[in-house]
């Protein structure tokens, strides 16, 4: 079984189908053979029964007439040929001589000096008036099929009438049938095995096409698995393409972040090189200044690279409400001197299709910005986005409203640019909103800034739902 499990699906299907087909054919052959044997024996018994009835009629009509009892009514030369294999015998059961072991017996000429035995003791004896059949060993040790019947002739006595014939005829008919049945089932088995092989090959051809498509991608000959697949394989092909696309996006994002980081570090490095070549007395100060800039750049692009690697992670799902509640409690403590009031409206069971850390970064940055500018109130509302088309990828919306001064439309667009700070009076690097925009975009979502009903700014974050 261990070796079988290691085989291909095609081989396992073929072996399984062949085994059950052989088993079914074998059982069917045994059943049909048994049915044929019974049918052949019944037909042979019916043939012997004709002679038995003739003898019964002969004995019943004139039981005491020695001239009529027996062969006069049997018009068949087989009973007249010695050791022909066809025999009859009439035994008087109630004869006075029966007690001494010398019962009155009449036999067919074919028996010569022999007698027919009774049916074996393990075979139920013939009831009076009802024929019974079975196998016995007759003259010359031949196997005979014997039919016997007991009749009661009244005052004339009781008789046991037996008719037997060579069982080789039955065995010959059964053997011929079994040979024909075996040959037929053999041809049927060959046809079934051939059809199973074709069926397995045809049925698994989509899997081979899928394998060839993946191999073509590995060799660089294609970017996606292409082809028409049946409905039970098409989802697998689609998932493979989605997985390839997700991996491709991760690699592309990592490559982009590395390129951006290299480009961002060029300017500080050039400044340091120029200061060093010029022998500037402020080299140490410039080194410290540019090193701080590079540290910020490295931290920024590392955050973006981590976010890019985590985005669209397979199987990740985070419940939204607990994250919002935890962040609200945190910022209440951070800004406790301003007594901010947080109002949360989020349904239970709403899940973000992504990492918890990313959801915390996204909503945390928005709440941090809202807490810096709010006068005293922040409302948070989260809900699943209705899908008007009835399908597609599900999303949810998180709206964060504050009662701060707000922003005009031009300032909103400017605030989303990396490194732009609209008010130097508040602490921060100016990187928060741009990171939110980039990370939301990685998940296929978006960030939008609008006027809030509270009079300040409304930040609307759209993210995929699980």
Domains 10-173 and 318-464 belong to one CATH topology: no
pLDDT of residue 2: 59
Whether residue 168 is predicted with pLDDT greater than 80 in this model: the reply is yes
Q: DSSP of 76-110, one letter per residue? A: -GGGGSTT-SEEEEEEETT-GGGGGT---EEE-GG
* Mean pLDDT, range 303-330, rounded to an integer: 75
Residue pLDDT, tens place only, 62-112: 655 544 444 444 557 788 788 888 899 888 887 654 444 456 888 888 888
pLDDT of residue 263: 67
* Mean pLDDT, range 340-363, rounded to an integer: 89
Q: What is the rounded CA–CA span in Å between residue 291 and residue 216?
A: 47
Residue pLDDT, tens place only, 187-202: 998 998 888 888 888 8
Residue pLDDT, tens place only, 225-251: 887 888 777 888 888 888 887 777 777
pLDDT of residue 420: 46
Residue corresponding to tokens 């009859």: 88
Q: The domain at 318-464 falls in which architecture? A: 2-Layer Sandwich (3.30)
pLDDT of residue 249: 72
Q: What is the rounded CA–CA span in Å between residue 295 and residue 165?
A: 111
Among the residue ranges 164-168, 312-316, 335-339, the one predicted with the least confidence is 312-316
Phi, psi values for residue 136, rounded to 5°: -140, 165
238 in helix, strand or coil? Answer: helix
Residues of the chain above pLDDT 70, percent: 81
Claim: this prediction has a pTM higher than 0.85: no
Number of other CB atoms surrounding residue 31 within 10 Å: 10
307 in helix, strand or coil? Answer: helix
Q: What is the rounded CA–CA span in Å between residue 215 and residue 446?
A: 36
Mean pLDDT of the chain: 79
pLDDT of residue 462: 92
pLDDT of residue 356: 85
Element (H, E) at 158: strand 158-166
Q: Categorize the per-residue pLDDT at 28 as very low, low, confident or very high, splitting at 50, 70 and 90.
A: very high
Q: What is the CATH number of domain 10-173?
A: 3.30.450
For residue 250, what are the CA distances in angstroms to 114, 305, 442, 443?
101, 9, 9, 11
Q: Categorize the per-residue pLDDT at 31 as very low, low, confident or very high, splitting at 50, 70 and 90.
A: very high
Sketch the domain layout of the chain as residue ranges: 10-173, 240-310, 318-464
Q: What is the largest CA-CA distance in the chain?
A: 156
Residue corresponding to tokens 């939008």: 448
* Mean pLDDT, range 429-447, rounded to an integer: 73
Q: How many residues does the chain have?
A: 466
pLDDT of residue 417: 67
Among the residue ranges 141-155, 179-193, 294-308, 354-368, the one predicted with the least confidence is 294-308
Residue pLDDT, tens place only, 105-164: 888 888 888 888 888 654 555 555 678 888 998 888 888 999 998 888 777 778 888 999
Structure tokens belonging to residue 178: 């079994």
């Amino acid at each position: 079984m261990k070796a079988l499990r290691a085989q291909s699906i095609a081989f396992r299907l073929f072996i399984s189908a062949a085994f059950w087909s052989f088993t079914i054919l074998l059982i069917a052959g045994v059943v049909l053979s048994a049915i044929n044997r019974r049918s052949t024996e019944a037909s042979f018994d019916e043939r012997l029964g004709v002679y038995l009835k003739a003898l019964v009629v002969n004995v019943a009509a004139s039981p005491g007439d020695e001239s009529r009892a027996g062969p006069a009514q049997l018009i068949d030369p087989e009973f007249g040929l010695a050791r022909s294999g066809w025999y009859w015998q009439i035994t008087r059961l109630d004869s006075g001589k029966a007690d001494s072991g010398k019962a009155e017996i009449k036999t067919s000429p074919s028996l010569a000096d022999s007698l027919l035995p009774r049916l074996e003791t393990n075979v139920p004896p013939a009831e009076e008036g009802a024929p019974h059949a079975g196998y016995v060993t007759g003259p010359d040790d031949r196997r005979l099929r014997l039919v016997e019947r007991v009749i009661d002739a009244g005052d004339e006595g009781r008789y046991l009438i037996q008719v037997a014939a060579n069982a080789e005829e039955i065995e010959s008919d059964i053997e011929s049938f079994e040979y024909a049945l075996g040959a037929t089932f053999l041809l049927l088995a060959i046809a079934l095995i051939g059809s199973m092989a074709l069926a397995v090959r045809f049925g698994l051809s989509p899997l081979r096409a899928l394998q060839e498509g993946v191999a073509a991608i590995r060799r660089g000959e294609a970017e996606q698995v292409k082809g028409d697949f049946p409905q039970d394989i098409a989802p697998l092909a689609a998932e493979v393409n989605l997985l390839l696309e997700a991996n491709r996006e991760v690699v592309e994002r990592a490559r982009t972040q590395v390129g951006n980081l290299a480009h961002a570090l060029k300017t500080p490095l050039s400044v340091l090189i120029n200061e060093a070549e010029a022998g500037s007395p402020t080299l140490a100060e410039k080194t410290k200044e540019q090193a701080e800039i590079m540290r910020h750049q490295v931290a920024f692009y590392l955050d973006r690279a981590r976010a890019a690697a985590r985005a669209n992670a397979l199987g990740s799902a985070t419940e939204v409400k607990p994250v919002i509640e935890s962040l609200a409690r945190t910022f209440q403590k951070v800004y406790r001197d301003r007594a901010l009031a947080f109002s949360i409206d989020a349904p239970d069971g709403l899940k973000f299709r992504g990492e918890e850390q990313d959801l915390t970064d996204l909503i945390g940055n928005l709440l941090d910005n809202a807490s810096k500018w709010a006068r005293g109130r922040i409302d948070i509302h989260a809900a699943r986005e209705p899908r008007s088309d009835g399908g597609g990828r599900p999303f949810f919306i998180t709206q964060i409203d504050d009662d701060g001064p707000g922003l005009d439309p031009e300032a909103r667009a400017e605030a989303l640019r990396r490194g732009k700070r609209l008010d130097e009076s508040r602490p921060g690097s100016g990187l928060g909103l741009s990171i939110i925009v980039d990370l939301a975009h990685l998940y296929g979502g978006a960030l939008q800034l609008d006027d809030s009903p509270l009079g300040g700014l409304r930040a609307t974050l759209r993210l995929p739902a699980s």
